[in-house]
């Protein structure tokens, strides 16, 4: 991370974090507070709805009980209807009198209750008596086949509440709710008939107790699943019960076939707090944006001089450019940095220009070029040999040549490191010798005298094989029986020496002196692209070793004509662990 970025992060965090923390706290506090308030409102609605529904039920029970247990000094409703079910004889006058008796009480009840339409008694003997406000029962109506009547009888005196619908047996009737109960004799408990009260659909209306009709659903149902009251048409969102997070409350009432259900959808229940939440978030975002702008300005003003110096240092120069004068002329720490670094760069440029820079470029170019100069003409000879053998017989020899050649190619292109173990170099030599022995019909042999303790030492890659090839091509020449190439090693102090010798034709004194002089010359650009005709790249190999390890390392050559040649390579002693 750059210095400017670090300053920006510091300024931004110092300025923005307090505001963000405060905004998060305020957001959560306000949300929690309002949600708790809304839950309190919801609880109040539940309580009010419960109380109101209970009051409606009590009115219904009071209405039915007032008629069922009515008793004056002369007669009662229960005693009055006994004659219609006990088989006693009764006349039309008796029916008229019963209707007169019940009318007085029914008028009082209808007058005192705004939801009551009428009260009727369906006796077990089939007689209907009662009174209604502009409604009446159809003549010859038999209720025993209707569900409401059957359910009422089954309840044995407990109140039954029907659904909201238009009753086809009520003359001039509209949508209403019938409430009924079975009547029995006090003495014999004989079934006397069914008392039915007809109420308007507003009997269980709870609109007055629901201040949030668009968010809270209140419904009253009977056991048959019939809706007696619901404000579902007023909801502004889907039915709350469809939301798995909905608030749902179901209450048990003092009437066993009536159920009160209340539910609310939180998505709309808390919608009033959303604008405030958006305002808090918006203010926080605006503040963060302002903090970003201010932090950028402050970080730029503080780090621009340092960043400029950093860029110039990466280019290893400062220069007296006009745009840097304001920093060079400053008297604070920034000015000191610029002036001291400028002085250092001027001194360094003088040194690099005169000595170090040119030498590095030269050595680097030579190293890359020399690595590419290692002569590979033996590969072409090998390929010719493979082709010849393939035409003649192409069996084991071709297989051995192919395997060895493949190993050498893989080894030559490995680029993980320029340093390899002595064992790897010797393995590469073995692959080369395998090919050449087949080529020269095993007329020469290779002797290896290497101490096992140095097999893991590390040497420069591709140094042994070119020297063995040089011994084979220039030392042994025609490869006659008894020709030998020997590789041996020795350690002196922290130096490692390898001798590669042959018993071939040797080199005469003048030619040997010329080769030694050539090996002593330091690497130069004029050597690039050239190839010695006296040997297979002895100078290239020596230059590679010297460039890699430094002065004092390379090749030493000794030879006597008709006795053989010995080439010594000097390496620093480096183990695998180093």
Summarised one tens digit per residue, pLDDT across range 175-213 is: 899 898 998 887 778 888 899 999 998 888 888 888 877
DSSP per-residue codes, 83-95: TTTS-----HHHH
Predicted local distance difference test score (pLDDT) of residue 326: 65
Sign of CA dihedral 303, 305, 306, 311: positive
Q: Which residues contact 454 (CB under 8 A, 6 or more apart)?
A: 422, 489, 491, 496
Read off the tokens for 232: 């579902």
Contact between 253 and 259 under an 8 Å Cβ cutoff? The reply is: yes
The answer to whether the CB of 221 falls within 8 A of the CB of 243 is no
Is 5's pLDDT higher than 70? yes
CA distance 519 to 542: 7
Q: Quote the crossing angle between the two packed helices 274-314 and 333-351, to the nearest 10°.
A: 40
Q: What is the residue-averaged pLDDT of the chain?
A: 78
Q: With helix as H, strand as E and coil as C, how does 168-196 read?
A: CCEECCCEEEEEEEEEECCCCCCEEEEEE
Handedness of CA 211, 215, 216, 219 (dihedral sign): positive
Rounded distance between C-alpha atoms, residue 246 and residue 264, angstroms: 6
- pLDDT tens-digit profile of 471-494? 888 888 767 777 899 999 999 999
* pLDDT score of 533: 44
What is the per-residue DSSP string for 45-93?
Answer: HHHHHHHHHHHHHHHHHHHHHHHHT-B-SS-BHHHHHHTTTS-----HH
Q: CA-to-CA distance for 81 and 111, rounded, in angstroms?
A: 24
pLDDT at 373 over 50: no
pLDDT at 72: 61
- pLDDT tens per residue, range 216-252: 888 888 877 788 888 876 555 554 555 545 566 666 6
For 314-319, the CB contacts below 8 A with 24+ separation are 316/345, 316/348, 317/345, 317/349, 318/342, 318/345
- Enter the pTM of the model: 0.46
Q: Longest C-alpha distance within the chain, in Å?
A: 168
195 contacts 119 by C-beta, under 8 angstroms: yes
Which span out of 77-91, 343-357, 502-516 was modeled with the highest average pLDDT?
A: 502-516
DSSP string for 240-257: GGGSTT-EEEEEE-SSTT
List the Cα angle 180/183/188 in 5-degree steps.
165
Q: How far apart, in whole angstroms, are the C-alpha atoms of residue 68 and residue 78? A: 7
Spatial contact of 571 and 547, defined as CB atoms under 8 Å apart: no
At 123 the three-state DSSP class reads strand
Phi, psi of 427 (to 5 degrees): -65, -40
Whether the CB-CB separation of 66 and 219 falls below 8 Å is answered with: no
CB-CB contact of 179 with 64 (8 Å): yes
In eight-state DSSP terms, residue 509 is H
Q: From edge to edge, which strands make up the β-sheet containing 227-230?
A: 227-230, 216-222, 258-264, 247-252
Q: Which of 301-305, 357-361, 461-465, 563-567 has the lowest average pLDDT?
A: 357-361
């Amino acid at each position: 991370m750059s210095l400017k970025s670090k300053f920006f992060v510091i300024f931004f965090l110092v300025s923005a974090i307090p505001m963000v923390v405060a905004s998060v706290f305020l957001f959560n506090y306000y949300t929690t507070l309002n949600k708790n308030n809304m839950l309190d409102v919801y609880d109040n609605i539940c309580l009010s709805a419960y109380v109101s529904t209970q009051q409606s039920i009590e009115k219904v029970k009071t209405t039915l009980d007032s008629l069922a247990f009515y008793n004056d000094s002369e007669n009662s409703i229960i005693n009055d209807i006994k004659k219609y079910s006990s088989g006693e004889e009764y006349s039309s006058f008796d029916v008229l009198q019963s209707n007169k008796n019940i009318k007085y009480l029914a008028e009082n009840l209808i007058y005192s209750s705004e939801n009551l339409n009428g009260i009727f008694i369906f006796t077990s003997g089939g007689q209907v008596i009662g009174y209604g406000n502009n409604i009446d029962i159809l003549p010859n109506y038999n209720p025993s086949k209707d569900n409401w009547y059957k359910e009422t009888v089954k309840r044995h005196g407990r109140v039954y509440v029907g659904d909201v619908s238009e009753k086809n047996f009520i003359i001039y009737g509209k949508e209403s709710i019938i409430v009924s109960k079975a009547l029995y004799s006090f003495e014999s408990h004989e079934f006397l008939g069914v008392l039915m009260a007809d109420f308007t659909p507003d009997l269980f209306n709870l609109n007055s107790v629901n201040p949030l009709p668009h968010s809270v659903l209140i419904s009253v149902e009977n056991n048959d699943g019939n809706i007696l009251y619901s404000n579902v048409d007023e909801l502004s969102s889907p039915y709350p019960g469809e939301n798995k997070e909905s608030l749902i409350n179901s209450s048990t009432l003092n009437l066993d076939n009536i159920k009160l259900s209340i539910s609310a959808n939180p998505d709309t229940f808390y919608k009033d707090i959303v604008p405030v939440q958006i305002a808090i978030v918006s203010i926080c975002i605006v503040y963060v944006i302002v903090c970003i702008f201010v932090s950028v300005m402050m970080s730029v003003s503080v780090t621009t001089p340092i960043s400029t110096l950093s860029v110039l240092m990466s280019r290893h120069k400062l220069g007296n450019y006009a745009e840097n004068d304001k920093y060079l002329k400053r008297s604070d720490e920034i000015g000191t940095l610029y002036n001291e670094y400028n002085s250092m760069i001027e001194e360094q440029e003088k040194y690099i220009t005169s000595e170090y820079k040119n030498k590095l470029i030269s050595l680097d170019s030579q190293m890359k070029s020399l690595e590419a100069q290692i002569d590979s003409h033996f590969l072409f000879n090998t390929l010719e040999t493979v082709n010849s053998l393939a035409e003649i017989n192409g069996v084991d020899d071709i297989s051995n040549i192919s395997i060895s050649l493949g190993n050498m190619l893989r080894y030559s292109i490995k680029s993980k490191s320029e340093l390899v173990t002595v064992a790897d170099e010797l393995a590469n030599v073995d692959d080369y010798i395998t090919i050449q022995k087949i080529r020269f019909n095993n007329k020469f042999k290779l002797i290896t005298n290497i101490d096992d303790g140095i097999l893991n030492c590390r040497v420069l890659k591709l140094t042994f094989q070119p020297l063995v090839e040089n011994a084979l091509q220039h030392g042994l020449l025609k490869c006659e029986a008894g020709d030998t190439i020997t590789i041996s090693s020795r350690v002196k102090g922290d130096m490692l020496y390898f001798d590669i010798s042959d018993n071939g034709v040797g080199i005469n004194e003048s030619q040997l002196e010329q080769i030694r002089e050539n090996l002593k010359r330091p690497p130069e650009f004029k050597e690039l692209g050239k190839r010695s005709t006296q040997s297979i790249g002895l100078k290239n190999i020596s230059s590679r070793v010297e460039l890699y390890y430094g002065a004092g390392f390379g090749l030493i050559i000794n030879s006597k004509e008709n006795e053989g040649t010995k080439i010594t390579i000097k390496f620093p002693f480096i183990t695998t662990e180093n």
